[in-house]
């Protein structure tokens, strides 16, 4: 384990040089990166955040394609990072390896499950890092740690050689402090050509989601809106109630009406029901993937994680077909979701972020948009923070 000088981000440090000639001009040449301890790397045991998992598994025979891609792109790997045990939490804590230190707010959690990867970037220990995102495991720690985090469209970056949590939802994501590096890493992983940025036709703000914030919503939305107005013009900014849209376009959610679809403030009940369907699907696939190992080994798991894991192992697969239908309908309605977390400075000395979504398969467009907007966003952040003092 790494010491305090590494902010507790690493479980293991080593150097793996790029698999290309040093004379080649490559998109990631000269950059360093770290890898969440969920990716297979030839000759190393993938720990999955738990010593009992590491003890009962052999060293990987091959390296995950996502890791090979960034090595081939010219980047140097410097180690493996701490993660929540079995990736089954969003907090960023680990009782065995320690909780990585949130550089932005040292008395707060870093967010998980890709906690060490986020902290390694936030602490300027690496230029970028790889994580996984099933239900927010890149976007949440990016937000907590005040850095950029990207979850790509499901299925567009290979998850081969990555221990699954719930394969219907798992993606390979990445972190960076710099929007240009975020874009370059994405183009390598997504195998995208360099193209000129395309102007968005509209940017829709989900008003009902922002009403749930514990800070003034304008502190978040105004920064984005003013940046968009400056670059693209205010006419492309639209507003919508995401809860209503989901309720109208995902009819299978009626099966969850008895649970959480009743009327709630700001009409987020459909989103709560959507979350319930997601959790049920995640729990079922986790059980199918790891239930036998958990029942046989009875691993030592930290508080919170232990209860969640055993609840999944003892669960039934009730309504799983309905959950898959919800997922299919949502993708059809929204052309699926793709997200990127963008830091928007601080409020009350805590980091604030916003998440942008684009339709499935529009990853390159979104990466370019973030890079285009980011400079102006930082200007608007500075203005907003000055006005709040």
Q: Please spell the DSSP secondary structure of 264-308, one letter per residue.
A: -GGG-HHHHHHHHHHHHHHHHHHHHHHHHHHHHH-----TTHHHH
Structure tokens at 377: 């966003």
Provide φ and ψ at 109, rounded to 5°: -65, 155
Domain extents for the chain?
10-197+346-351
Distance of CA 169 to CAs 3, 149, 282, 322, 334, Å? Answer: 34, 17, 8, 15, 16
- The whole-number pLDDT of residue 60 equals 98
- The whole-number pLDDT of residue 82 equals 98
Peptide bond into 113 cis (omega under 30): yes
Structure tokens at 65: 């394609």
pLDDT tens-place string over residues 7-24: 999 999 999 999 877 778
Choosing among 3.30.1490.20, 3.10.180.10, 3.90.1300.10, 3.40.50.700, the CATH entry for 10-197+346-351 is 3.90.1300.10
Strand ranges (DSSP E) for the chain?
10-16, 32-36, 76-81, 128-133, 148-151, 171-176, 203-206, 237-240, 339-347, 350-357
Is the pTM value of this prediction over 0.95?
no
Give the HSE-up count for residue 331: Cα atoms under 13 Å, Cβ half-sphere: 13
Those residues of the chain that have pLDDT short of 70 are 1-4, 257-267, 335-339, 341-342, 386-389
- Which residues are known to be catalytic? 36, 113, 137
Q: Which residues of 278-306 are buried (b: 16+ CB within 10 A; e: fewer)?
A: bebbbbbbbbebbbebbeeeebebbeebb
- The whole-number pLDDT of residue 297 equals 98
Alpha-carbon distance 356 to 39, whole Å? 26
Q: What kind and span of H or E run contains 320? A: helix 320-334
């Amino acid at each position: 384990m790494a010491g305090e000088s590494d902010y507790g981000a690493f479980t293991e440090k080593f150097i793996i040089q790029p698999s290309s000639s040093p004379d080649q001009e490559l998109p990631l040449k000269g950059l360093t990166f770290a890898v969440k301890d969920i990716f297979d790397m030839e000759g190393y045991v993938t720990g999955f955040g738990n010593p009992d998992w590491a003890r009962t598994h052999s060293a990987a025979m091959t390296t995950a394609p996502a890791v090979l891609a960034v090595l081939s792109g010219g980047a140097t790997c410097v180690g493996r990072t701490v993660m929540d045990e079995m990736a089954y939490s969003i907090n960023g804590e680990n009782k065995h390896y320690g909780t990585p230190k949130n550089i932005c707010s040292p008395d707060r959690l870093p967010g998980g499950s890709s906690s060490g990867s986020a902290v390694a970037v936030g602490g300027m220990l690496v230029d970028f890092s790889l994580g996984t995102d099933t239900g927010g495991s890149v976007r949440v720690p990016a937000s907590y740690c005040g850095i950029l985090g990207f979850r790509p469209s499901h299925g567009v970056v290979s998850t081969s050689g990555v221990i699954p949590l719930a394969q219907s939802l798992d993606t390979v994501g990445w972190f960076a402090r710099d929007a240009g590096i975020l874009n370059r890493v994405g183009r390598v992983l997504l195998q995208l050509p360099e193209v000129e940025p395309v102007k968005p036709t509209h940017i829709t703000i989900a008003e009902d989601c922002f009403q749930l914030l514990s800070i003034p919503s304008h502190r978040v939305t105004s920064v984005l809106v003013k940046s968009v107005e400056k670059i693209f013009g205010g006419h492309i900014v639209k507003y919508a109630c995401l809860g209503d849209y989901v309720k109208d376009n995902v009819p299978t959610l009626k099966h969850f009406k008895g649970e959480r679809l009743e009327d709630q403030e700001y009409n987020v009940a459909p989103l709560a029901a959507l979350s319930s369907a997601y959790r049920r699907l995640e729990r079922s696939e986790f059980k199918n993937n790891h239930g036998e190992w958990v029942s046989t080994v009875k691993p030592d798991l930290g508080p919170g994680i232990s209860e969640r894991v055993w609840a999944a192992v003892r669960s039934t697969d009730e309504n799983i077909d309905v959950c898959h239908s919800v997922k299919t309908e949502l993708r059809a309605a929204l052309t699926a979701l793709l997200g990127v977390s963008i830091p928007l400075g601080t409020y009350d000395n805590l980091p604030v972020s916003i998440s942008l979504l684009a339709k499935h398969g529009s990853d390159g467009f979104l990466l370019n948009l973030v890079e285009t907007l980011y400079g102006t966003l930082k200007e608007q952040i500075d203005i907003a923070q000055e006005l709040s003092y």
